[in-house]
Chain A
Amino acid sequence: MNGYLGDVAALARKDLKLELRARDTLPAMVLFVLATLVVFHFALPADAGDDASYGLLWIALVFTALLGLARAWAPEREAGALDGLVLAPSDRSAIWLGKTLATLAFLAAAELVALPAFALLFAPLDLGAVAGVALASLGICAVGSLVAAMAAAARGREVLLPLLFLPLAIPLVVGGVGASIADDPSRYLAFLGLYDAVFAILSWAAFEYVVTE
């Protein structure tokens, strides 16, 4: 088990290191989410109220995650490194888990900027909303890194990824918005946890079939 977790850590560290050197994903995500929030300010009617802005926050988060996911497999694809990783003597699901953790780190970093900005510009966020964002991010990255690997194998992957991902993200948005606006967010948080568990296990089990020839 130590070997498996070691593989995962090495793969995730590789992505973080690449990002630290090239800085081509995270700054884009942060700028995108801030720009989206500003656009939303002008998209909302003046009397729309706080509830509407929580909904828009979730749209902003999902699209920011999509931006990161679209780049997730770019390093592997460009140099043909994925073939090497698949041939490496480790469990293939470790590749998925490493990628999930790396994208989760990027998304969390973007959210660390986005959530205070949202609270400052729009409406206050309570603990339930933040917990909802954390749980939903987990699900977004777990499903997203698998779907992005599928899209990476296809032509027109930039167009394909949102099409594949958005229907799967609908339950996450429901749970996240519910956790943000409900008086008692526990039901929504439990639902998000359930989603994470179901789809993380599925993605973990299915990843091998997506990358092997």
Chain B
Amino acid sequence: MSIPKPTLTALAALAVGLGGLSVAMIFFVAPVDSDQGLTQKIFYVHVPIALTAYAGFGLGAWKALRLLMTREERYDLESYTGVHQGTIFGVLTLVTGAIWAKASWGVWWTWSSDQLVLFLVLFLFYCAYFMLRFSIEPGPRRERISAVYALFGVALIPVSFFAIRLANDFIHPTVFTREGPQMTGVMFAAFCVSWVAISLVAYVMYRAELAGKRTDANLRELREALAS
């Protein structure tokens, strides 16, 4: 590799800096939404977190595909860590989404929002991933079964989205419309900075978790080598 990988510490510092910048932009630069007022600010946090969660699941599935193609063991931990980060940000997405829904629609949850329901289905799916993974003995079999399951999630996203759109026709009339006003340039800039910051936080967490898990696995191998 020609470009050296930045160290984790440097990335973490950058993530903190960008996080601070995005908070400043959200509250002091971006204008207060004329329709929703101050509560609209959660948009700058909620949407990037949701996109990051999708990215985590996507990364997990991509690494799972690599595992199945190459059978290299390291992709297993990478896939697992990706899904894990996706789930962590998934919890945050559901929480911030519920808060936003309560503030702007008056309810904690609404089945008429496609994005919410899709996210819940996907979240349930990937929660079961952990149940599956931790009830199989570690080894190549577990790696491959986990990988196949993680890959199914990617197929489930478009199929579920389509299904939820269909379901809305008979379960719910559309009562709430998605937020009205388009973003202005400044709002979009604040959104982008926040998105980059949160993605970077996720990436730092991913790298840190991966490093920890790798160390753990190496330590276990050493211990087994010493014991035998």
Contact = CB atoms under 8 A, between A and B. Distances in A.
Interface stretch (A14-22, A39-47, A59-67, A170-178): A170-178
A164 B135 CA distance: 12
A181 interface: yes
Q: Nearest 6 CB-CB pairs, A to B?
A: A171-B163, A167-B125, A154-B135, A174-B163, A163-B128, A209-B144
Contact of A174 (B135, B148, B156, B166): B166
Nearest to B128: A163
A157 B124 CA distance: 18
Interface string A179-213: 00110000110010011001100100010011011
A170 B141 CA distance: 27
B63 to A, nearest CB: 14
Size class of the A contact interface (CB-based, 8 Å): 35 or more
8 contacts: A154-B135, A163-B132, A168-B156, A175-B163, A178-B166, A195-B159, A209-B148, A210-B144
B132 A154 contact: yes
Contact of A171 (B131, B140, B152, B159): B159
Contacts of B170: 177-178, 181-182
Nearest to A187: B166
A150 B144 CA distance: 10
B167 A174 contact: yes
Interface in B141-195: 141, 144-145, 147-149, 151-152, 155-156, 159-160, 162-164, 166-167, 169-170
Contacts of A150: 132, 145, 148-149
A160 B131 contact: yes
Interface string B92-132: 00000000000000000000000000000110110110011
Contacts of A10: none
Majority secondary structure, A binding face: helix
B121 A175 contact: no
A177 B155 CA distance: 21
Contact of A202 (B125, B132, B152, B166): B152
A58 B151 CA distance: 27
A171 B148 contact: no
Nearest to B71: A209
A156 interface: yes
A121 to B, nearest CB: 23
B136 interface: yes
Interface string B31-62: 00000000000000000000000000000000
A168 B125 contact: yes
Given A167-B125, A177-B170, A199-B155, A209 B163 contact: no
Contacts of A213: 140-141
B166 A209 contact: no
A191 B128 contact: no
Contacts of A164: 128, 131-132, 149
B23 interface: no
B156 A209 contact: no
B141 A191 contact: no
Given A155-B135, A175-B166, A202 B155 contact: yes
B164 A174 contact: yes
Contacts of B144: 209-210, 212
Contacts of A206: 148, 151-152
B159 A163 contact: no
A31 interface: no
A207 to B, nearest CB: 8
